[in-house]
Amino acid sequence: MLTRTSTQSLTGQLADRLAERIRNRLLAPGARLPSVRECARQQGVSPYTVVAAYDQLLAQGLVEARRQRGFYVRDAAPVPESSRNPAHAAPEVPPMMASRVPADASSLIRSMFHRPSDKPQPGMGVFPPDWMASTFLATAVRRVTTTSALQELSLQYGEPSGDLALRRSLSQKLVRINVPAGPDQIVTTIGATHALDVVSRTLLRAGDPVMVEEPGWALEFARLEALGMRILPVPRRADGPDLDVMAQYCKLHSPKLFVSVSVLHNPTGYSLTPGSAHRVLKLANEHDFHIVEDDTYSHLAPEHATRLSALDGLQRTIYVSGFAKILAPNWRIGFLAASPALKERLLETKLLATLTTPTLFERALSWCIDQGQLRRHSERVRIRLDGARGRAVKLAMSHGCTFASEPAGLFGWVDTGVDTDALTQRMLDQGYLLAPGSLFHARRPPSTMMRINFATSQDAAFWKVFSRVRDEL
């Protein structure tokens, strides 16, 4: 809070607070600052103090003043006015998505390194560190860092496709979810995001149209846009993607790729049904596009859940997953599985970017899988998450929120009844980071939705602050 006992003026304190948030991307490019009158009321200072603070931010080049509209966080490449119109959820004839994706997709990523406080953060996309604590990780590392193991694994480049022991372990793991992939069809990567990037760089060229589920993970929109792709947002429903919209895109734009989270979709928690999966694969065969299936949350889902890669046998599908969410975020181990012919093309792309991946951690992960440690750890996390989800849902509903989808997995898709962009800015003053609904749409239209992390949203103190701040909007 601003304090009059500080040696720094109130103007300087306010300007520094806002500047820090802008530099750490907690206030994203294009975000509107509160009006002078509203900010003065929030901070308990005079409008003159706010105007002076905003003037300092203008002088630093951090914000811009728009006539009759207020102050906005400066963006080096502003979005054209024509691109700011909200997109309809399911257009009769889906528009070509050539507009620029908002640059603030990295806000949630950066927040993992610049937390606004030590309080539980409902907007975070990962489990709390204490949920990840284990003893078997240290044991696994010790096993692969003996003198002889270091001589074998550290003093030469690893296998380009990834450590063979890990690829064998992953192949056996995939068999349990009915995805047929031998070790020679698997390529390890530096996390699941890297795997998605390898697929995009292999199959796409700048200007190619790509279908992506919406709402969806903001980083995927931004990543594809940075590669110069045309994004075609496909509304995600409870049973799967909107097949009518997909069919229209196929007729109008001949998309090259469809990016899908079949199981425990982020942010809705939806899982694909068999009927919808068969129709998606039929479209892919009829219109000659590939499907990359991001199964990041597989460790939280039942093995019998419907997966496109299992039904398709990795003919048109590329399966992607990783271990950062469930095991060790800093190990950065992911992988992809594809048909033998496509696997070689994907491997070439990996070689051009990273040569190989760290064999030591891959071998340690292989031990964790083979010894059953990963499976038992995942079971413990799922049980704990079930309890947290129940508590978070009760708290959210008791404070006037509704769920747009049946709560499942790690995330809840919650309707707050107010503009969550504005709510997010206000909650930062209280030390809480939210994930506003606009971040999960390609064109970032205003939204009353927000994504909550069930593991970090079971704090009654947060919901009390949330209710008070929301009622003030």
Q: Please, which residues have CB within 8 angstroms of residue 362's CB and are 6 or more apart in sequence?
A: 158, 162, 163, 165, 166, 188, 333
Highest mean pLDDT among 92-106, 149-163, 246-260: 246-260
| pTM to 2 decimal places | 0.83
Neighbours of 188 (CB within 10 A): 28
Task: Supply the pLDDT for residue 117.
Answer: 81
Neighbours of 1 (CB within 10 A): 8
* CA pair distance 464, 243, nearest whole angstrom: 40
Which residues in 134-172 are b (16+ Cβ under 10 Å) and which e? bebbeebbeebeeeebeeebeeeebeebbbbbbbbbbbe
Mean pLDDT, all residues of the chain: 89
Neighbours of 108 (CB within 10 A): 24
Task: Supply the pLDDT for residue 306.
Answer: 97
Q: With beta carbons less than 8 A apart as the criterion, state whether 432 and 121 touch.
A: yes
pLDDT tens digits along 41-81:
888 899 989 999 999 999 999 999 998 889 999 875 443 34
Which residue from 409, 179, 388, 89 is spatially nearest to 271, judged by alpha carbons? Answer: 409
Both tokens of residue 325?
């969410």
* CA pair distance 283, 308, nearest whole angstrom: 12
Pairing of strands 257-260, 290-294: parallel
Average pLDDT for 312-331: 94
In this predicted structure, which of 37-41, 134-138, 240-244, 267-271 has the lowest mean pLDDT? 37-41
Residue 85 has pLDDT above 70, yes or no: no
* CA pair distance 98, 225, nearest whole angstrom: 9
pLDDT tens digits along 276-308:
999 999 999 999 999 999 999 999 999 899 999
| Selected residue with higher pLDDT from 86 and 432 | 432
Task: Supply the pLDDT for residue 96.
Answer: 35
Both tokens of residue 189?
């990567």
pLDDT tens digits along 115-166:
778 899 999 999 999 999 999 999 999 999 988 888 877 778 889 999 999 9
